[in-house]
Amino acid sequence: MALERTLSILKPDCLQSGAIGQVVARLEAAGLKPVAMRMHQLTTSEAEGFYAVHRERPFFRSLVSYMTSGPVVLMALEGDNAVAKNREVMGATDPAKAAPGTIRRDFAKSIEANTVHGSDSTDNAKIEIAYFFRATELVKYDVKR
């Protein structure tokens, strides 16, 4: 299995649900180790840039508005097959369609306020991690359970 990194964002609804700890616990339990972590209030231009791929979508303005409506937690996660593993633990974009036991099924409020972001490919993970973190902000440590 390939050791990968992926970008995770705990979205404003996650913080407003008081669920930071519960969501991070699920990620860690899945073998996704935070190697960078920071709280942040996204600006409109940061959110527009981050979601630029969606700029023609009907939900784009609302998504930018939502993502800037409150603080988020930015994380780089590391682990075997981290990109796909994170997507699996997150669940489908629409919480109504997310599998039982996934983060979105258990915490998300709506298809927009869906608790977590996760990179969708290793190439995008590199771009997204670099969007928020300098290489020197990524730490190294071992987890032994």
When computed from its CA atoms, the radius of gyration of the chain, rounded to whole angstroms, is 14
Q: Which two tokens stand for residue 76?
A: 């780089």
Bridge partners, residue 74, by sequence: 9, 38
Bridge partners, 39 (sequence order) = 73
Q: Give the range of 37-45, 106-114, 128-136, 137-145 binding ligand ADP by CB under 6 A.
A: 106-114
Please, are residues 77 and 91 in contact by the beta-carbon 8 Å criterion? Answer: no
Determine the length of the chain: 145
Could you tell me the two tokens for 14? 């996650």
Cα–Cα distances in angstroms (integers) from residue 112 to residues 61, 80, 94, in the given order:
11, 28, 8
117 as an active site residue: the answer is yes
Query: Pick from Mg ion, ligand ADP, none: which does 117 bind, CB < 5 to 8 A by kind?
Result: ligand ADP
Query: Which one of 59, 65, 97, 131 is in contact with ligand ADP (CB under 6 A)?
Result: 59
Which of the following is catalytic: 85, 104, 105, 117?
A: 117
- Using CB under 5 A, which residues numbered 112 to 141 contact Mg ion? 120
Can residue 106 be called a binding residue for ligand ADP (CB under 6 A)?
A: no
15 contributes a contact to ligand ADP by CB under 6 A: no
Contacting positions for Mg ion (CB under 5 A): 120
Contacting positions for ligand ADP (CB under 6 A): 54, 59, 63, 93, 111-112, 114, 117, 120
- Give the catalytic positions in this structure: 117
